[in-house]
Each structure stands twice: as C-alpha cells, then as structure tokens.
Amino acid sequence: MFTLGFIINPFAGIGGKVGLKGSDGEAIRTEAFARGAKPQAVQRAKIALEALMPYKEQLLILTASGDMGENLLEDMGFRFKVVYQSHEPSTSDDTIKAATIMVGLEDKSDAIDVLLFAGGDGTARNIYEAVDGTVPVLGIPAGVKIHSGVYAVTPHAAGLVIEKMINKELVSLLETSVMDIDEDAFRKGVVRAKQYGEMQVPAEHRYVQATKSGGRELEELVLQDIADFITDNMDDDNYYLIGSGSTCAFLMESMGLENTLLGLDCVHAGKVIASDMTESDILRLLSEHGGKVKLVITVIGGQGHIVGRGNQQLSAKVLSQLEKDDIYIIATKTKLKELEGKPLIVDSDDPALNQRLSGVMKVITGYEDFILYPVGLNN
C-alpha cells in the first residue's frame, strides 16, 4: 500500500487570470472574486490525480476536509482518510496544520510516502513550515507564482512522478529551493525573490521544474536583433499581445513603449492601447478583432515554460482562439541551451489545449534567425 498525503489550496491561482499577480491574503481573494475570478486549483489537482486512477487499490490517501482534498477524492472514487477538518473558507493556517498532522501521525501504519499538494509559492512556504524535510514533497502547479523548485512542470507531470513511485521505479530525491516573492512589489513590476529553505523532492528530469533562473540577459545585441525583427515585421492592422518577462520588456523598450514587466500589454499601430490585461480583456480583444491578434511570449529561464507561469491571463479560452502561427516565441539561444534539452512547456488549464500546442514550434532567436524547438512532454 502506497500512502499519499494530499492537500489542495483551493484559492491558489485565483488572482492570475484577473491580473492580480498573486493570491495571498483575504483582501486579494476578495478583489479577485469581485473581478469575476473562478477557482482553478481543484481542477489542476484533478488532472494530476487522473494519472493515478489505475492504482486506486494500491493507494491510501490522507487529506483534509472539504475543498482541501476530501471533495475531489470522493468524486474520483479514491480510498482516503480525512485527518484534518479545515475551515470554510480555508486559510494558510489550515494548510500548515493539515501538513503537520500528516507528517507527525503517531500511527506509523499511516505514515505517508510523499506529500502531494496543489498551490503556488505561498503554499510551498506553508508546506515547508510544517514538513521541514521530514518527508518528500511534490507540488502540483496551481498558483500565480511558481518560482520554487518543488513543483512539477505541469499537473499531469506531477501525477506521472507519483506513478513512478507507486511502481517502485528508481526516483532520486533532491533538495530543491522553496522560493517566494513580495507580492506587493510584484504588482509594481519588481521581482524580489527570497529563498526560504529547501525540501526533498522526487526528482525526474523531464517532470520537475528547476528553480527559476535570475539575472539580466547579457546578450543585448542578440536581444536587439530579436526586437528589430519583431518590430520590422509588425503589421499596423494587427494587434500584438506582448507577454511578461525581461525579453518581452526589452522588445517594448526598443519600441519606446511603456510595458508591464509582469503582465500583458497590447500594441496596435505602434502604440500601447491596453496595459496589464486580464483574461476578460484579452477575450474582448479577440472577439472584436478575431484573426488579427498575435501573441509574443518568451521562455522562463531555467524552467522552459511559455504559458502557465506568471501569465495565467493566457487561459485555454484565450489560446484556443489563436493558431500556432499567431504565437511568436522569442528567446536567445543561450536561454534555450540552459534548458539542457528539456522541452518548452504549455501549462494552461486545459490538457487538450496543451496537447494541441505540443510538437515543434519556431523560436525567434535573432534577426531572421530561428530554431525549431520541441514543445510539450512526451507522456
């Protein structure tokens, strides 16, 4: 019998699609709901658990009540035991208390083999406070901020790692960083990350992400070539969604335009016509100008994500209205080499959409300089 600890932060990622760049704190959650946000963490946890459906007879899952795990496990037909009664609505304190109970149970027959949790960097900090290296952990990415190295690259990948452990395949354990950023500074366009500690994570090269690499690109000439190519090929009839990150920021700077470093802006005819757009803003743009909307995004250094890390506004609803040819990926060859052969990752809220965008996509790496690079996991 494989015993799995399982915790969902049901509010993780609630601020992403509505442009709030985080979900920590009751005030932000209230604002997110006021903007029409809908919870997504439970659905992302479900995607991870679907990989474990064939192993129901081999699994005992310890969890918290309600939306923190119980409801989903009951719906999916897993064998589980509720070891903690959470508040409604739940708080970070519930996450800490639930995890503390799971790793400290006196009945060793219920000792968990690994703690699987769904959330973002704030949730990882809560888990770290409770676990402190006692048991291996693995995160299902569901938050806005995913800088920590304790997360799988996608929810499905998290399930695949646990599947390997159930099947007693050799899985290494690595100490990986728990990172989090100052959300208030983040909303002002400043990334101020801090390492809070390390946790043991079942390591699988394809499926578990690296800690996000930091630092400013040194290859400014290459970045300028990329920017020049994009701007020289812009059509004034089209609307260009410019994504987050320093490479996209360089593009905007080269055009003399203000940009939202950690959000999405729209450029039309050489001018910014919308800043820090939400999912609903983008859907409205697509409705009004279907076929003329292009997306420019870059690669998260060290991780390889192009969708699903800091740009949850690019939801499945948004991406489903774009063709592959409407998506321009820009990155230096140095950044691609740092991935060491790992594919680019699309981690939207729809596995079918992720699959549609998988395969090989063109990455713009200079002026009329391109690389065909794999997108998506093999499994």
Question: Within this chain, do residues 180 and 39 fall inside the same structural domain, yes or no?
Answer: yes
Q: Are residues 30 and 74 in the same domain?
A: yes
Residues 77, 163: one domain? yes
How many angstroms separate the CA atoms of 343 and 10, rounded? 29
* pLDDT of 216: 42
The verdict on 157 and 198 lying in the same domain is yes
Q: Are residues 187 and 49 in the same domain?
A: yes
Please give the angle made by the CA atoms of 345, 15 and 292, to the nearest 5 degrees.
Answer: 60
Residue type, 17: K
Residue 210 lies in a domain: no
Strand partners, 314: none
Claim to verify: residue 43 and residue 102 sit in the same structural domain = yes
In a 13 Å sphere around the CA of 14, the CA atoms on its Cβ side amount to: 24
Quick one: 240 and 185 in the same domain?
no
Both tokens assigned to 262: 């950690």
Is the model's pTM score more than 0.85?
no
Q: Are residues 155 and 286 in the same domain?
A: no
Structural domain of 9: 2-203
Q: Are residues 69 and 146 in the same domain?
A: yes
Q: What pLDDT is stored for residue 364 in this prediction?
A: 93
329 part of a folded domain? yes
Domain boundary among 135, 169, 203: 203
Which tens digits make up the pLDDT trace of 274-298? 999 999 999 999 999 988 999 999 9
Averaged over successive runs of 10 residues, the pLDDT of the chain (379 residues) comes to 94 64 60 65 93 95 96 97 92 94 77 93 92 89 80 90 88 81 60 76 73 50 88 95 92 92 92 94 94 94 84 91 94 88 88 89 87 77
Same domain, residue pair 182 and 295? no
Report pLDDT for 154. 86
**Looking at the structure, do residues 337 and 251 belong to the same domain, yes or no?**
yes
Domain count, the chain: 2
Indicate whether 177 and 316 sit together in one domain: no
Cβ atoms within 10 Å of 320's Cβ, excluding its own: 14
Identify the pLDDT of residue 122: 87
Amino acid at 302: G
